[in-house]
Amino acid sequence: MKTQYLTPQRQKQAVEILRRGGLVGIPTETVYGLGANGLDPEAVKAIFIAKGRPQDNPLILHIPSPDWLSRYCKDVPDAAYTLAERFWPGPLTMILKRGPMVPDVVTAGMDTVGMRCPKHTLCRKVIGALDLPVAAPSGNTSGRPSPTTAQAMLEDMDGRIEAILDGGPCAVGVESTIIDLTVTPPRLLRPGGVTLEELETVLERVEVDAAVRRLMAPGEKPKAPGMKYRHYAPKAPVTVVKGRPERTAEYIRERLGKTSGVICFDEYGDHFPGHAVETLGSAADQAAQARHIFEALRSFDHLDVTDIWAQSPADTGLGLAVTNRLNKAAGFHIIDLS
């Protein structure tokens, strides 16, 4: 299959492909998604094949506005509409009771479904014109870092999907926050573009799922099936070093081998001469760190790097999402100097 590269002007073609059951790479504000008509089981099955995604890992449905929730979900609680009012369109996915219209393959047979209303203008135009919910996981091959540009998605999906619509680099850079509203108190299953602190301004109490901060033990089941898989990993093994940036930079510098690579804050970009270095943004700029984390992880696959050392951001605010992705990429191999 030859994958067509579509500029924003050719968005109509993306809509046509989706309507007849094809797969299209679509930009969102979080990461690029691998989209299909979410009501067409055959089209959705093709997503799993293109990504090599395990069948038990459900997909998120993308809709243009909160009033579509009642079409695809049952017993929608008031909290869902309150959260939608505050954070939609935006990087928040809500887990709700699934309605009868949603195909089994979308939810991996579960009785709940993930719903999100994205903010990216071009993405909204496509979903609006299609007038159907779009099922879309991140556009990477299963296990790889998520793509935040059309070029990164093509690295994984060229020849496997009909087209990719280029909407420029993603503004957020990490996937959506996932909150489960079918349990009491609501539970944060995946940290993302909407922070825990922001959710707590709307919801009285939020429980954080154990899989967010640590590796699941064998046999232990996280509530978001996707959180159990090795994820976001570059080819070379990653070690994360936690603590004050001056200390972690020094610690890493002392341990680098000839072919080690480094992920660090901008302030330390010149601390590691002779090594492959990817900077995330300033130590104080969490939004920049979120935008750059996946490109940083991906970039080492093009270099002869045998091991990667990373300075860890703090895990507050957007930092909870960035550290979650980094720690997962490292298989939770973390050295704590704090």
SS3 9: helix
Pick from 39, 110, 277, 335 the residue near ligand AMP by CB under 6 A.
Answer: 110
**169: partner contacted, choices ligand AMP, Mg ion, none (Cβ within 5-8 A by kind):** none
Residues 216-245 touching ligand AMP, rule: CB under 6 A, are 223-227
Continuous segment of H or E residues that includes residue 60: strand 60-62
DSSP bridge partners of 172: none
Cβ atoms 232, 145 nearer than 8 A: yes
**224: partner contacted, choices ligand AMP, Mg ion, none (Cβ within 5-8 A by kind):** ligand AMP
For β-strands 33-37 and 24-26, DSSP reports them as antiparallel
Alpha-carbon dihedral 243, 248, 250, 252, rounded to 10 degrees: 150
Q: Which residue is nearest to Mg ion (CB)?
A: 138
User: Minimum distance between the CB of residue 34 and ligand AMP, rounded to whole angstroms?
Assistant: 8
AA letter at 337? L
User: Minimum distance between the CB of residue 331 and Mg ion, rounded to whole angstroms?
Assistant: 16
**From CA 143, how far away is CA 18, in angstroms rounded?**
25
Residues 81-110 touching Mg ion, rule: CB under 5 A, are none
Cβ atoms 37, 19 nearer than 8 A: yes
**From CA 140, how far away is CA 143, in angstroms rounded?**
8
User: Minimum distance between the CB of residue 275 and Mg ion, rounded to whole angstroms?
Assistant: 29
Write the binding mask 49 to 78 for ligand AMP: x where contact by CB under 6 A, - elsewhere: --------xx-x------------------
Write the binding mask 302 to 331 for ligand AMP: x where contact by CB under 6 A, - elsewhere: ------------------------------
Interface with Mg ion includes 37 (CB under 5 A)? no
Cβ atoms 125, 28 nearer than 8 A: no
The backbone torsions φ and ψ at residue 47, rounded to the nearest 5 degrees and listed phi first, read: -60, -45
The backbone torsions φ and ψ at residue 61, rounded to the nearest 5 degrees and listed phi first, read: -95, 130
Cβ atoms 27, 122 nearer than 8 A: yes
Write the binding mask 117 to 156 for ligand AMP: x where contact by CB under 6 A, - elsewhere: --------------------xx------------------
Q: How many residues sit in the footprint of ligand AMP (CB under 6 A)?
A: 20
User: Minimum distance between the CB of residue 60 and ligand AMP, rounded to whole angstroms?
Assistant: 5
Pick from 17, 189, 263, 322 the residue near ligand AMP by CB under 6 A.
Answer: 189
Write the binding mask 134 to 153 for Mg ion: x where contact by CB under 5 A, - elsewhere: ----x---------------
User: Would the CA dihedral through 142, 143, 148, 151 be positive or negative?
Assistant: negative
| Residue 10 CB burial class (10 angstroms; 0-12, 13-18, ≥19) | middle
Rank residues 232 and 300 by Cβ distance to Mg ion and give the closer one.
232
Rank residues 22 and 193 by Cβ distance to ligand AMP and give the closer one.
193
Pick from 156, 175, 278, 295 the residue near ligand AMP by CB under 6 A.
Answer: 175
User: Minimum distance between the CB of residue 223 and ligand AMP, rounded to whole angstroms?
Assistant: 6
User: Minimum distance between the CB of residue 57 and ligand AMP, rounded to whole angstroms?
Assistant: 5
User: What's the Cα-to-Cα distance from 6 to each of 21, 33, 158, rounded to whole Å?
Assistant: 17, 15, 13
SS3 24: strand
Please measure the distance between the N-terminal and C-terminal CA atoms of the chain and give it in whole angstroms.
50
Write out the residues near Mg ion by the rule CB under 5 A: 138
Write out the residues near ligand AMP by the rule CB under 6 A: 57-58, 60, 95, 107, 110, 112-114, 137-138, 175, 178, 189-190, 223-227
